[in-house]
Amino acid sequence: MSDDLFESIASKLRGLAKPLLDTTFAVIIGLLVGALLMWLYGYNPWNAYYYLFKGGFGSLKGIFETLSFATPLMLTGITWLVGWKSGIFNIGAEGQMYMGAIGAVWIGGTAALPAGIHVAAATIVGMLFGLLWALPVAALKVWRGAHEVVTTIMLNWIALFFVRYLIRYQVPMPGNAYRTVPAMETARFPLISEGTTLTAAVFVAIAFCVGIFIFLWRTRLGYEFRLTGANPEAARYAGIDTQRIIFLNLLIGGLAAGLAGSTQVLGRPPVWGLYETLGGVYGLGFTGIGVGIIGRNHPIGAILAAFFYGGLLHGGTKMMAQAGVAGEMMVAIQGLIILAVALPVILPMIREKIASWRG
């Protein structure tokens, strides 16, 4: 029996070693290409990377700030990867997240509720707003066969302009038409450390990811989710209602994205609201796709990938300040590293997808 246990742990470790090695190798390639780029433009790559990683991971405050950047990313990553598990190409996190954010602003900024209940209510309403925005995608997919890529892209744009309208005309801050009312004190997640922007929202986000992990691998429905993605034919043969699975899957994606929007409003000082430009949330949904992929489409992987990505985002500030790397170059370097890390995961995904179309 104990031999079995050893054997199983050993095989686990072996299973873990390959992705870890792959990822490390990919990171090194990305860093080298980035270094080449910086060297060509006359920067000192060694110096730049030193500050990039020192800024992101080199101090407790830096790690807190990194986690703050990571919080919404792991959630939008969940939207993507849960979809992927059932063979859905869900890129709707962006719009669903906007809706979640405005839902959180609505309850957090205008409803007077007792502390504790208020933050929970605002978070949940934000999640439901995300779900609401996923509903047409799910309905059109299941009943009309509309491809989710098309519907989510369209709904992302509708959400963008609709939310901008709401910010400007429904929940603007008096005298400041460019932003919404802030969430009230009672609706804010408590700050974890002074001098950073990290709030307890990060625990909610991690708990959500872990919850999704348990759901996918420890429940019957989660198994049906995964089987629908792995082999839809077999799933149908086994008596699974794959249409129902896809419907539920898109709604869960909406909940995750809505939660991401909520955490950006209720858990991100100093604004505690939205700007008309949507700068605080803009692009997080699409970045989530990268996070999901780097995290190998696994909820726990998404947490780690978001932490890595957040570190690059936050460390970039120090790189810009101390190594004098131009802001645009910083974004290019971040992009290169992400691309390098994502490539070894994307290629098999594409191969798998093509194989599934053929077979």
Partner 1 sequence: MNRIGILDERKSAQATTTIVAAIIIVAIVVGVGVWFLKGPGPKPEKPVEITGLSLSSTSPTKGEEVKAFVDLTNHSATDQSYTFTLKASGENVSTKTVKVEGGKTKRVSVPYTVKENNRTYVFQAGSKRATASVGSPPKLAVVSDIGGRGDLAFNDMAFKGGESAELKLGVKMMPLISSTEEDYLPNLREAARDPDTNLIVGVGYLLSKSLSTVAQEFPNKNFMGIDTYAQSLTENLQPNLMDITFEEHKSSALVGALGALLAAHYDKPHIGAVLGIEIPVLWKFETGYKWGAKWALEKWLPANKPDLAKQISYSKDFVKYTYTGTFSDVAKGYEAAKPMYEKGAVTVYNIAGPLGLGINRAVKERVPKGQEMGPPFWTGVDSDQDWINPGFVIASAMKRVDKGVFLAEKLVKQGKFRSTIRNNDGVITLGIGTEVGGIPVEGVSVSTLANLKEFVKMGVRAEEVTGEKKLPMPPEKIKARVKEMRDAQPDWIWDAVSQLEEKIRSGKPIADLDGDGTPETVPATTTDNAVSYWRDVLG
Q: Which span (6-14, 31-39, 96-104, 286-294) binds partner 1, by CB under 8 A?
A: 6-14
Do 88 and 226 touch, CB atoms closer than 8 A?
Answer: no
What x-and-dash track marks residues 62-101 binding partner 1 by CB under 8 A?
---x---x--------------------------------
For partner 1, the closer of residues 208 and 247 by Cβ is 208
| From 243, 317, 332, 335, residue interacting with partner 1 (rule: CB under 8 A) | 317
**Where are the extended beta strands (E) located within the chain?**
172-173, 176-180
Give the integer Cα–Cα distance in Å for 307 and 23. 14
Q: Which span (134-142, 143-151, 295-303, 335-343) binds partner 1, by CB under 8 A?
A: 295-303
For partner 1, the closer of residues 27 and 191 by Cβ is 191
Sign of the dihedral through C-alpha 21, 70, 279, 137: positive
For partner 1, the closer of residues 88 and 202 by Cβ is 202
Do 77 and 295 touch, CB atoms closer than 8 A?
Answer: yes
| From 132, 300, 339, 346, residue interacting with partner 1 (rule: CB under 8 A) | 300
147 lines the binding site for partner 1 (CB under 8 A): no
Token pair in block for residue 124: 């949940």
Backbone angles phi, psi at 178, to 5 degrees: -85, -5
| From 35, 88, 320, 341, residue interacting with partner 1 (rule: CB under 8 A) | 320
Sign of the dihedral through C-alpha 12, 14, 15, 20: positive
Interhelix angle 60-85/242-266, rounded to 10 degrees, is 160
Token pair in block for residue 310: 């957040």
178 lines the binding site for partner 1 (CB under 8 A): yes
145 lines the binding site for partner 1 (CB under 8 A): no
286 lines the binding site for partner 1 (CB under 8 A): no
231 lines the binding site for partner 1 (CB under 8 A): no
For partner 1, the closer of residues 219 and 244 by Cβ is 219
CB of 137 to partner 1, least distance (A): 26
Token pair in block for residue 357: 């179309």
Give the integer Cα–Cα distance in Å for 56 and 291. 17
Residues 6+ apart with CB under 8 A from 25: none
170 lines the binding site for partner 1 (CB under 8 A): no
22 lines the binding site for partner 1 (CB under 8 A): no
42 lines the binding site for partner 1 (CB under 8 A): no
What residue spans of 267-298 are helical by DSSP H? 284-294
17 lines the binding site for partner 1 (CB under 8 A): no
Token pair in block for residue 86: 């059932």
What x-and-dash track marks residues 191-230 binding partner 1 by CB under 8 A?
-x-xx-x-----x--xx--x--xx--x-------------
How many residues sit close enough to partner 1 to count as binding (CB under 8 A)?
52
238 lines the binding site for partner 1 (CB under 8 A): no
Find the radius of gyration of the CA atoms of the chain.
21
Contacts with partner 1 in 264-283 (CB under 8 A)? 268-271, 275-277, 279-280, 282-283
Do 102 and 71 touch, CB atoms closer than 8 A?
Answer: no
Token pair in block for residue 140: 């059109």
CB burial string 60-98: b at 16+ within 10 A, e below: eebbbbbbbbbbbbbbbbbbbbbbbbbbbebbbbbbbbb
Give the integer Cα–Cα distance in Å for 207 and 74. 11
Q: Which span (78-86, 187-195, 285-293, 344-352) binds partner 1, by CB under 8 A?
A: 187-195
Task: Return residues touching partner 1 (CB under 8 A).
Answer: 8-9, 11-12, 15-16, 55, 65, 69, 164, 168, 174-178, 192, 194-195, 197, 203, 206-207, 210, 213-214, 217, 268-271, 275-277, 279-280, 282-283, 298, 300, 303, 314, 317-318, 320-322, 324, 326-328, 331
